[in-house]
Structures are given as C-alpha cells and as structure tokens.
Amino acid sequence: MANQVKRIPDGHYTLTPHLVVQNCKEAMGWYKKALGAEEICQMTTPDGQCIVHAEMKVGNSMFYMCEANPQWGARSPQMLNGTPVTLHLYVEDADAVFNRAVQAGATVTMPLDNAMWGDRYGKFTDPYGHYWSVATHIEDVTPEEMTKRMEQMFSGKHNCG
C-alpha cells in the first residue's frame, strides 16, 4: 500500500516567506530574541559553516531562511540595495513586539500608532535588511468610516508612484 504523504505538511500553510540573510545563524538568534521566533530546524553545509535551510515559527506561522550566496542565486537585501517586500505580523500586543524588536536593534521606519483601518500599527527594518510591519487589531471599521478616514487622511494629497 502506498504511503499517504500530506501534500502540505502539518504546521505549514500555502504561502511561506523565505528570507535570504547574511549571517543566517546570527539572524536566527535575532528573530528569536526580537520576535519570539522558535527554531524548528536547520540544515547546514557539511562543514557546518553555512545554513542552507532553516525553518522558524512566529505564532502560528512559519518562515524559512537561508544564507545569502550569489552562487545559489540567494541574494540578501544588502546585496540588492534593499527589498520591496514587507513581512506583516499580527500579534496580541504590537507595542511589546515592536519595542522588543527596536531594543534588539531594529530601525523604526514608521512609529507605532493607531491606524485609520483599525490596527495599532508600526514598521521597522531588521538588522539584516528585511522590512516588517507589526499590528494588533483594535477596532472594527465599517467601509463607510474607512472611506471617510481615507478622505481626511489624503485631503487633497496624492502620493502614489
């Protein structure tokens, strides 16, 4: 009888971010300290010097990591002069997570504030060049109220592109 393998392993979801970082071992420690991440596994090169694949978990969500290496086609934000991607965390206490990340060395790019869409929301860049946003949902906003708040926020200004 054929082995019935789950097509999506337990604990994983359809979409999983995969971060490429310089000094992956150090970065894993930072994510543990700053975001409360849990290390699930790591696989290294035979000499143990380079992480080829690691799995981390924050809350109920997994993310993968590997060491930056252009020969593998794995380029970090520093190698690319930045990243257009922001990883978003919904947490029970945005202030606690945000402040812990900043104390661990993250750079604030948008201070925490109560956002018009009903979240306590802020953004930072981690020491490895990845952008993060952190939020706690604090208010359910109706579509009508959202439209009103958007109009007030942009009142004559349009900054797209």
The pLDDT tens digits for 90-131 are: 999 999 999 999 999 999 999 999 999 999 999 999 999 999
CATH superfamily membership of 18-154: 2,3-Dihydroxybiphenyl 1,2-Dioxygenase, domain 1 (3.10.180.10)
CA distance 28 to 24: 6
Phi/psi-derived region of residue 49, left when phi > 0, alpha when psi is between -120 and 50, beta in every other case:
alpha
Phi then psi dihedrals of residue 154, to 5 deg: -95, -15
Using CA atoms, how far residue 92 sits from 2, 98, 146, in Å, is 43, 11, 23
According to DSSP H, which parts of 36-161 are helical?
A: 94-103, 143-154
Q: How confident is the model at residue 158 (pLDDT cuts 50, 70, 90)?
A: low
Strands 38-44 and 61-67: unpaired
- Residue-range domain boundaries for the chain: 18-154
The pLDDT tens digits for 28-84 are: 999 999 999 999 999 999 998 899 999 999 999 999 999 999 999 999 999 999 999
- Eight-class DSSP state of 106: P
Using CA atoms, how far residue 38 sits from 82, 83, 130, in Å, is 26, 24, 18
pTM: 0.89
